[in-house]
Chain A
Amino acid sequence: MRGPRLWLSTVDHKQIGVMYMVTALFFFLVGGIEAMMMRAQLSLPNLTVLAPEIYNQVFTMHGTTMIFLVVMPVLIGFGVYLVPLMIGASEMAFPRLNALTFWLQVCGGFLLYVSFLAGGAPDAGWFSYAPLSEKPYSPHPGLDYWALGLLLLGFGTVLAAVNFIVTIAAQRAPGMTIRRLPLFAWMTLVNSVLILFALPALNAALVMLLSDRLLQAHFFDPAHGGSPVLWQHYFWIFGHPEVYIMVLPAFGMISEIIPVFSRKPIFGYGFVAASTVAIAFLSYGVWVHHMFAVALGRVFISVFAALSMLIAVPTGVKIFAWAATLVGGSIRFTTSMLFAVAFLLEFTIGGLSGVAFATVPIDWELTDTYFVVAHFHYVLFGGTAFALFAGAYYWFPKISGRLLNETMGRWNFWLVVIGFNLTFFVQHFLGLMGMPRRVYTYPNLPGWAPLNLISTFGAVILGFGSLVFICNILASLAFGARAGNDPWDAWTLEWAAASPPPPENFAQVPAVRSRRPLWDLKHPELPDWAAEGGD
């Protein structure tokens, strides 16, 4: 299984998973450099590091890259690598489709970035509100590349979702009932259903936008009877489920990692799984909270406000379940666990500030300010990215056969935690002081300059923290300690395979009689399947 040709033509789920992760890491660097460019420009008022049109391209590409080329592919990558192993399968249901979805991802990313060479990158934000995204206001072809690239990425993501659902439906090992499914697989399953319903809404909107831009149709152009609000509805019908698409698999990772390092099963498996389904349903009824500042009817807005608040409840259930898993445990502070615990706290902040935006009058003050930027970075960085760091430290030994270095891990952790909070916590205050988002510069109003400088300073630390992570991967690949099959004394099936697993994954899949088949093997005196609530 070595050599570039074999990587290019592989249909092995583990190789494809690794390729997803490596491409995502590459784009994480690209998106990170874009973030640094923005923070440089914003470090002090009235700077001219970036011209306004360049700044607009950079923030558009930062958002689009981080969402479509980093978070989604890396989550799919972890899923593609882990789901078959976790359910005791030897492959995904459709291995060639799996390869196709990965290469569609690569092509989509290429299309997005080739726009820089074709007259300018897209510059209307990752949400591309019409009519700013229409030809008269954005005449260069950047947005066409954006729409075409996203169509490819969206199509690929849908195919990946199909593959996940069929894999989990049809490839489970004997005894792996749906109620014994590891929570990461559960959340990947729910996530795939979300993708199946959300991405086509984006694809429809993109087809309409491309009709407008390339064929002079008038879907979103008010001068000819089109409706800019229609774009907003379509985009957010996709866009809000998308937020959960980017966070559910991260929830799944946390639900695997916290129990193992607390040495206890998850507290309330049923509620954690069921609350995921509740989130998925509710996520289709909350999109209008992105549009509260539009003149829509008050009753209409109130309904969406209620649903948006309601979705906090199943999310809260998860946070409480993770916290309660710690209680009475025997907690091991590996780097992976540190990130998982930090996730709990950071994500709670992001979740709570999210409720502010469901509270309509607060949204009327705070939407489109830096408070929003702070909020969703607490969700997507403090939430998803922290979970991904935790997941990387947890599963790297399985993938590579070597442990990531724990000393570098501590540096990685503390730099990222300090840098992240410095960067984004102060942005809450900037929002409250009235600083709008998506501005390339700002007036020197009282307090704005020092807070922005702190934010930029934090971003530099965060950047160093991320570089330590990459160095740790490279160093550990070469010199890391051998991991063995089961370095964490864990309980799900992937730890029964060799590290790294051979092409067929398992010589023999262990018997599955509960949610923790390896616990049952190691503790025949106290198997889960004999315990009340263990199955």
Chain B
Amino acid sequence: MIWDAFRPQSPQVHAIAGLFDGFLILAAVIFLIVAGLVGFSLVRYRARAGAADPRPTFGSRRIEIAWTAVPLLVVTVIFVFTVRTMAFVDAPREPGQPPDLVITGHQWWWEARYPNGAATANEIHIPVSRRLLARIESVDVIHDFWTPQLARKMDAVPGRPGYIWLEADAPGAFAGACAEFCGKQHAWMRFQVVAEPEAEFSAWLRHQAELPAEPTGAAAEGTRVFREQKCGDCHAVSAADVRAAKGPSLAHIATRNLLGGELPNTSVNLARWIASPQSIKPGNLMPDPNLTPAGVQALTAYLESLR
């Protein structure tokens, strides 16, 4: 690794980074040849006072053929490495192999669903050192699912799903972003991929599919506000509820690290978001709800009870 481009954390991105290193060396050599030739000429052949024009020369077929043939050879080499790396990064999947998780782009958040029914938003968990097959979809415009350190980009084109291998070498939280311009909040269509040891991952997965606990105290008051405000029209509160998917699922939201793809998930931030989502993520599809401070507090308590 001559230079830590991409800071790879998966075999796939390691392979891409290796290819990039090779490319960078090649490009630097070519640039230095051109710049050297130009720089040398500028110094050596600058006009001397009173000098007559040099005797015209018109080219040399031999040299011209050489500088056509050599680059041809160079790109052929690049092409061979390209095809090899492509085959590694996009390793074929078993015929008919079902995806380990389905990631769906929405304006402007990411939904992830696992075969056991677990559903989450903007925070995707994977086990360390086991590759998962992720299907990338979109329900509205084109998005692009990109975790720079873990996997290649894959466009989420409505009606045309794509597949990537999602894998991490070590535990950690890896930032991701939507990479295809998708409208007003493209910039904050960010997410996190959390890689954790196999045992922790399966515990997480099992827990995410469970029904929420019955709310008590302030949280119970929050459920009333939740109903009044018709939050449930867009947001599901349990993984089993698959109807309300216009907005991010709130199932087990209190276990997540981030809110809205970027804010740390604290009571203060949650209350800020509930009070005025438009001031945090202007243009997002959730209208400001017009709640009393007490209403905000109750709703915050309710959401925080969704562990």
Interface residues of A (CB under 8 A from B): 51-53, 56, 124-125, 129, 131-132, 137, 222-223, 227-229, 262-271, 293-295, 298, 301-302, 305-306, 309-310, 312-314, 316-317, 319-321, 323-324, 326-333, 341, 344-345, 348-349, 352-353, 355-356, 358-362, 364-365, 367-369, 432-434, 436-443, 445, 519, 526, 528, 531-534
Contact = CB atoms under 8 A, between A and B. Distances in A.
Given A313-B68, A348-B31, 13 more contacts: A52-B185, A131-B141, A222-B157, A222-B159, A269-B59, A295-B163, A312-B71, A345-B34, A358-B78, A361-B19, A432-B6, A436-B186, A531-B58
Nearest to A56: B184
B117 interface: no
Contacts of B56: 264-265, 519, 526, 528, 531, 534
Interface string B107-149: 1000000000000000000000000000010001110101011
A376 to B, nearest CB: 15
Interface in B80-108: 81-83, 85-87, 89-90, 107
Contact of A324 (B63, B85, B87): B63
B157 A295 contact: yes
Contacts of B78: 309, 355, 358-359
A316 B177 CA distance: 35
Contacts of B86: 298, 301-302, 360-361
Contacts of A265: 56-58
Contacts of B46: 330-331, 333
Contact of A267 (B13, B58, B177): B58
A533 B16 contact: no
Nearest to B30: A352
B51 interface: yes
Contact of B54 (A328, A355, A528): A328
A337 to B, nearest CB: 10
- In this complex, the member of A316, A361, A368 whose beta carbon has the largest number of chain B beta carbons within 10 angstroms is A361
Nearest to B72: A313
Interface in B162-184: 162-163, 175, 177-184
Interface stretch (B36-44, B223-231, B232-240, B292-300): B36-44
A265 B71 CA distance: 24
22 contacts: A137-B183, A228-B158, A271-B59, A295-B157, A302-B82, A305-B82, A323-B37, A326-B38, A330-B46, A344-B34, A345-B38, A348-B35, A353-B27, A355-B78, A356-B20, A364-B16, A367-B153, A436-B146, A438-B181, A526-B56, A533-B57, A533-B58
Contacts of B190: 443
Contacts of B59: 266-271, 321, 324, 533
B53 interface: yes
A443 B34 contact: no
B15 interface: yes
- Which of B41, B48, B262: most chain A Cβ within 10 A? B41
Nearest to B178: A436
A489 to B, nearest CB: 8
A332 B54 CA distance: 13
B161 interface: yes
A487 to B, nearest CB: 15
B34 A317 contact: no
Contacts of B27: 352-353, 355-356
B58 A331 contact: no
Given A309-B79, A327-B41, A365-B153, A295 B158 contact: no
Nearest to A532: B58
Given A353-B27, A528-B56, A298 B68 contact: no
Question: 6 closest pairs, A vs B, by CB?
Answer: A295-B162, A533-B58, A268-B59, A364-B152, A326-B41, A439-B187
B282 A361 contact: no
B180 A365 contact: no
A66 B10 CA distance: 39
Contact of A341 (B13, B38, B60): B38
Contact of B15 (A137, A270, A361, A445): A361
B80 to A, nearest CB: 10
Nearest to A313: B71
B158 A222 contact: yes
Nearest to A337: B42
B75 A312 contact: yes
Query: Of B34, B159, B188, which is in contact with the most chain A CB atoms at under 10 Å from its CB?
Result: B34
B196 interface: no
A355 B23 contact: yes
Given A293-B180, A330-B53, A331-B42, A52 B282 contact: yes
B214 interface: no
A268 B23 CA distance: 29
Given A229-B157, A345-B38, A442-B187, A364 B89 contact: yes
A356 B23 contact: yes
B86 to A, nearest CB: 5
B161 to A, nearest CB: 7
Contacts of A327: 37, 41, 45
B34 A362 contact: no
B160 A306 contact: no
